[in-house]
Amino acid sequence: MNIFSRIMPILYPYRGLSSNPARCLQSLLLALVAFSSVGRAAETLMCERGEAVLREDFDPASVSERWFFRGAFALRDGALVRTRLYAAEGNQRVFLKDASFHNVILQFTFRFEGETTDLRLVTGADGHYNSIVQIRRNHFQVNTADDKAAGIVPSHLGECAHRFEEGRWYTMTVEFFDDTLVAWTDPEHVVMGSHPLVDRTRSYLAFQFDRPSAAVDEVRIWTAPGQRPGWPERRKVLAAAQAGRSAVDRDPVDRYAYVFTQLKSRLTRFDPAYGALVASHRDLKQALHDRWPDAFKTHKELSRAILDTRKRLKADNPEFKAMENAMHRARRAEDAYVVSVHPALKDLEKHRVLSELPILRSGLEKRGDPKLAALVAESAELQRNLENRFPDAFGSVENLVTQRNTLRKALNDDPVFQAQNRAVAEAWQAIRHYELAAEPRLEALETARRAYLEKP
């Protein structure tokens, strides 16, 4: 195949642009960059390919025990598939244990199927997310998360329209080098960006699916010992192509969120005046919360209080521990019964049992298996007895939220509280005015968002 045969499919989307010579030249340069990047065994745009550190084809006979997933995922037809189990619960993840990588090339194949609308590759470190490659049916984008300790807010590094067809396999390559990330499916569809959060050793790697029944396969990770020759020039061409793209088609809610996230990230990183406004608001808010902490406890803090009570009872109260152990034994009896009905589970590795047992159990439940129903009823009764005996260990977070809100409302009669609360509100308004001045589109986007949400 000659060079023109390779370049023409890349140029095809730009046909009809002869009236715009600059755009035509940009397209030709992009095609030439793409050709220099493909057409050889080591397909990369930015990184030199080094040693292979992970190769996973999700073959049931050889799948690595480092993958952790339960019944929401299963190995089917040589791929990892999001099952219908727990479909109503939304996002589910499968993650790789003992991950540790910095400058690498990560590649995987994926397929949209069924109800899945959002598939993500999530990486992180030290209990926090850093980079996310988010794939939807009509585009993909690269996001970074927040790091409150470092004063970093979420950001979008870029987006690329791409119509992913139902049932078709695609390959996503993600290249990490220092603070730069390049994600691409082919040389025409590339998202590139740089951010401090990218320049971290990643100890967390997961795939997230919002709904059934998409799949991933052929996960590969290689070290990246350096950048390819010519990368600075190639980067300029790719950046120009990315900047010249039309915005991805989004509904008004998603469009507002995307633009606002980009704005807030840019101002936080590069505008000291905005940073001073945010710091002032943060300090005033913290002072308010420090003076009346019970009125501002978060849902997470209230939930943690209940869990702490449970942990304390488990450590110090023999009766609680005995009743909880009895309940756990009853639940293990449920699993043992499922294994007795499906003895082939005994031959599976432990990490596969975690996936297959809940799926087989769900089948028994749908068929109304009387023995399993009786075991479930016994476990439920033991759980009820435990909760009735130690209600504080299983309290309702919603009740605690109601108590917090009542306390917060009572403070409306306190002039000192009102003065401090007003100062916080005014500081937030100052931030908002600054954002509106910095991004003229924001007000119109907000109006469109509200109108969309208010539609019957």
> Quick check: 186 pLDDT over 50?
yes
> Quick check: 17 pLDDT over 50?
no
Considering the chain, what is the average pLDDT of its residues?
Answer: 91
Q: For residue range 383-426, list pLDDT tens digits in order.
A: 999 999 999 999 999 999 999 999 999 999 999 999 999 999 99
Non-local (6+) Cβ contacts of 247 within 8 A are 159, 255
Q: Give the length of the chain.
A: 456
Lowest-pLDDT range of 10-19, 256-265, 425-434: 10-19
Q: For residue range 208-231, list pLDDT tens digits in order.
A: 999 999 999 999 999 999 999 999
Q: In which residue are the tokens 């550190």 written?
A: 53
Model confidence at 127, in pLDDT bands (50, 70, 90)?
A: confident
Lowest-pLDDT range of 29-38, 230-239, 255-264: 29-38
Q: What is the pLDDT of residue 149?
A: 85
> Quick check: 75 pLDDT over 70?
yes
Q: For residue range 290-349, list pLDDT tens digits in order.
A: 999 999 999 999 999 999 999 999 999 999 999 999 999 999 999 999 999 999 999 999
241's tokens: 């192509």
What CA dihedral angle connects 426, 427, 432 and 438, to 10 degrees? 130
Q: What is the pLDDT of residue 170?
A: 98
User: Which pTM was predicted?
Assistant: 0.86
Model confidence at 150, in pLDDT bands (50, 70, 90)?
A: confident
Q: For residue range 110-119, list pLDDT tens digits in order.
A: 999 999 999 9
- What is the C-alpha to C-alpha distance for residues 156 and 376, in angstroms, rounded to an integer? 46
Q: Which has the higher per-residue pLDDT, 212 or 33?
A: 212
Region 116-140: mean pLDDT is 95
> Quick check: 2 pLDDT over 80?
no
341's tokens: 């009905």
> Quick check: 10 pLDDT over 70?
no
- Residue 212 to residues 93, 168, 215: CA-CA distances in angstroms? 12, 15, 9
324's tokens: 């909880």
352's tokens: 């596969």
